[in-house]
Copies of this chain bind each other. A is one copy, B any other.
């Protein structure tokens, strides 16, 4: 970055008084530009023994399969964000949402918050999807999944189905294993 959001002056990288990290600081109006991790919220939508997958119509990972997920917006809750993304990407309603997987991706400055829920009604390809579909475990395109967070979530789901116990999974995904 380089210019002040408030007044347009070129910023300087410095450690503000009382802080211990470098930030972009405006020498004119003294505004401090904090950058913090972003939340990605999404849904594992279940229908019987199948889950809802979307084939991405956008970069990154165009043409690969994912769960409906995206950046959390202001003025919504985590579950509302996950449900909104499900509508936008898969034209689907998800009900009975339970927080299921949390992934730290510190090297990307992201935290994934994925909910498990049930499909209520039909589905279709939203603007960001080439197609959407319901897949059984033996039909999952494992080699064509878009992100490791998504693959981990699906792996947890089918493992947990076998035990009948769906706990909360909290994990850190480090850079070296990323797709």
Residues of A within 8 A of B (CB): 1-10, 18, 20-21, 33-39, 71-80, 88, 99, 102, 104, 106-107, 109, 111, 127, 168, 170, 172
Chain B residue nearest in CB terms to A7: B3
Could you tell me if B39 and A36 are in contact, using CB atoms closer than 8 angstroms? yes
A4 shortest CB reach to chain B, Å: 6
Given A18-B127, A37-B72; 10 other pairs, CB 8 A cutoff: A1-B6, A2-B7, A3-B7, A8-B9, A36-B39, A36-B73, A39-B39, A39-B111, A74-B109, A99-B170
Q: Which residue of B5, B99, B104 is within 8 Å of A3 (Cβ)?
A: B5
Could you tell me if A2 and B10 are in contact, using CB atoms closer than 8 angstroms? no
What 3 A-B pairs are tightest by C-beta distance, nearest first?
A: A3-B8, A77-B104, A1-B5
Q: Which residue of B9, B34, B38, B75 is within 8 Å of A107 (Cβ)?
A: B75
Could you tell me if B6 and A78 are in contact, using CB atoms closer than 8 angstroms? no
Q: How far is the CA of A71 from the CA of B10 in the complex (A)?
A: 25
Could you tell me if A4 and B3 are in contact, using CB atoms closer than 8 angstroms? yes
